Structure 1
Amino acid sequence: MSTPNGTEEFEAHRSLLFTVAYEMLSSAADAEDVVQESWLQWADVDQREVHSPRAFLIRIVTRQALNRMRTLSRLREKYVGQWLPEPLLTTPDVANDVALADSVSIAMLTVLETLGPTERAVFVLREVFAVPYDEIAEALDKTPATVRQIAHRARRHVAARRPRTRVTRAEQEEVVERFLVAIRTGDVDALLTVLAPDVVAVGDGGGLAPAARRPLEGAKRVADALAAVGRYDGLVVHATWVNGAPAVRIDLDGQPVGVASVQVAGGRITGIYGIANPEKLTRLDRETLLAT
């Protein structure tokens, strides 16, 4: 039975609410702020009038996240270099939920950044969390018919940009392991065997850490850049799990200075998302619980 102010009910949904906010914002810090703001609203609600706590809480979080998205979009216009989502340390178990792992992958979150705030909210709520159209309409103050149209448009937009090839967890792990060994040795030839010829690497330093301002294209250019990492004294490169997938983490003096999330197809890496902005590396030492 819920406590009078709904604390128990809210805590039971906290991971879900964080996941909703994170998928809409691509920022753990902002997602946590949204969850906290949502708690303050929830605490003032008469619990006896709430028929579905899950639906009610998702509605609150959605509205809070939309407000935050509009502010963030203006800030990101001034961002130095390429902007990438904030990576989260997750357990390997997240990969067992294929739909969740796909939706929180760095690649997918990067695609979602190309949607407008309302389209992104509709896509996330419908495609990831299976929220009924009428509940989405209520959260967004729109008609169900309008929400259906937005959902159709958003699905088409995402389908045209999302990675088309799905690989097994075993294949992803095997490719990442080869990638890891090649980076550690700084061996350009070994890197060329694991990189697809048309690989694209995107780096995010936010003006606070070294990173290419524009994507690097082609296996040779990317391999040369990665080989330099392996030859840098003091850097430790090891495997980790980020956003539901195997990834590579780079440490200096025991602290993370970078993480690389990769796309795999045909046994090779086709895309690399390298995040070095220190402000985005603060959650790599504690696992984040995600839920749908």
Structure 2
Amino acid sequence: MDRNALLAERFEENRPRLRAVAYRMLGSPAEAEDAVQEAWLRLSRAGDGGVDNLAAWLTTVVGRVCLDMLRSRTARREDTYGEHAPEPPAGGPDPEQEALLADAVGLALLVVLETLTPTERLAFVLHDLFGVPFDEIAPIVGRSPDAARQLASRARRRVRADPAAADPETPAGREVVEAFLAASRGGEMNRLLTLLDPDVEVRIDQAAGARGADAVARFFAGRAQAARPALVDGVLGFAAITGGELRVAVRATLVDGRITALHAVTDPRLLAEMVVTLVE
């Protein structure tokens, strides 16, 4: 096996964990894939010469890429809203560990993570969810290990302050999802509009879909015939399984009893790597 092929093989061994880190940093499967791909490009250019711990090196690279993406995301909001800018909106290859990690980051926690600053989010995710030591986190955020520890501690306090963050499967959330699916199957436009935030947005794989309650309601009216409530990578949503095969998985974001975002995954390759559990 030539050196490039060996390098690619070693990278693929780390890909599941890198994707898990990036998803929990960014909250978007598409952006997570972009971050992981950027890590591969950097590795393929630099090679692994002088890298004693490739897994740690790749985690550092993905962490820095995600941090840049989060900062860019915040800057775009500031450019859009000016001085009245709102606050930022609120894994390893072992399948068992992946499932545990998915359970650890449910819908409510992802919403809370969105309220953290980029550096707080990175410090918390890398340390508390993936066990990366603070002396490795410190160079990524440009702080001392003690300062990185304080970032994670501050983030941890904010996460724990939200009691809903502990449970991705709250009854209230399930009721909203169940009502949405029932209204969708029945084509009940008025009911759909009461369940959707006025600025709700739908994303399908890596592409933007419908935006705004009226457009999203029209998009879903009469659909979701085979969909059932589910936990999708630990996030409350719904999934369609036909013929024993997962066809679509949708993560839902709920705020104050309304759906503010829906992210649908239809790519078979991504679906095969997701943890989807139907909620009875």
TM-score, scaled to structure 2: 0.66
Mapping of 1:54-93 within 5 angstroms? 54-76=55-77, 78=80
Residue 20 (structure 2) aligns with: 19
User: What amino acid is aligned across from residue 135 of structure 1 in structure 2?
Assistant: E
Question: 1:6 — aligned with what?
Answer: 7
* Count of aligned residue pairs for this structure pair: 246
What is the rounded CA distance, in whole Å, between the counterparts of 2:248 and 2:13 in structure 1? 34
Is 2:253–2:261's contact at 8 Å kept on the other side of the alignment? no
8 Å Cα contact 1:100/1:128 also seen in 2: no
236, 243, 250: which one aligns with 2:224: 236
Deviation at 1:245, TM superposition (A): 4.6
Equivalence for 2:244: none
Q: Give the Cα separation in 1 of the matches to 2:89 and 2:151.
A: 25
What percentage of residue pairs aligned between the two structures are identical? 32
For 1:162 and 1:76, the matched residues in 2 are separated by: 28
* Structure 2 partner of 1:289: 273
CA distance in 1, matches of 2:273, 2:162: 27
Flag the 1:257–1:24 CA change in 2: closer, same or farther, 3 A.
Answer: same
Q: Does structure 1 conserve the Cα–Cα contact (< 8 Å) formed by 2:172 and 2:257?
A: no
1:94/1:180 CA distance change after superposition, 3 Å: farther
Task: For 1:190-269, list aligned pairs within 5 A.
Answer: 204-205=200-201, 209=210, 211-212=212-213, 232=221, 234-237=222-225, 238-239=227-228, 240-245=230-235, 247-248=237-238, 259=250, 261=252
More helix by percentage: 2
- Residues 122 and 147 in structure 1, CA contact (< 8 A), matched pair in contact too: yes
Counterpart of 1:97, as a letter, is A
Distance 1:141 1:181, change over 3 A: closer
Partners of 1:208 and 1:177 in 2: CA distance: 19
What one-letter code is carried by the residue in structure 2 that aligns with 1:205? Answer: E
CA distance in 2, matches of 1:15, 1:151: 24
Pairing of 1:126-165 with structure 2 (within 5 A): 126-161=127-162, 163-164=164-165
Change (3 A) 1:273 1:180: closer
Q: Deviations over 1:139-187 (max 9, x none)?
A: 3332111111111111111222351553789x89996896577444589
Q: 1:96 to 1:180 in 2, by over 3 A?
A: farther
CA distance in 2 between partners of 1:180 and 1:202 (Å): 15
Shift of 1:46: 4.6
Q: Which residue of 1 aligns with 2:99?
A: 97
TM superposition score normalised by structure 1: 0.64
8 Å Cα contact 1:18-1:31 kept in structure 2: yes
For residues 243 and 84 of structure 1, the distance between their equivalents in structure 2, rounded to whole angstroms, comes to 20
1:110 positional shift: 1.8
Q: Separation in 2 of the partners of 1:36 and 1:13?
A: 12
Change in CA separation of 1:28 and 1:99 when aligned onto 2, cut-off 3 Å: closer
Give the residue type in structure 1 aligned to 2:200: D
- Per-residue Cα deviation, 1:240-271 (whole angstroms, up to 9, x for no partner): 55233552359xxxxx99956378xxxxx984
Distance 1:117 1:168, change over 3 A: closer
Matched residues in 2 for 1:162 and 1:202: separation? 26
Over 3 Å counting, the alpha-carbon distance change for 1:167 and 1:16 in structure 2 is closer
Deviations 1:102-145 (A, max 9, x none): 32x33322211111111111011011111111111133332111
Moved more, 236-245 or 29-38: 236-245
CA contact (8 A) 1:66 1:118 kept: yes
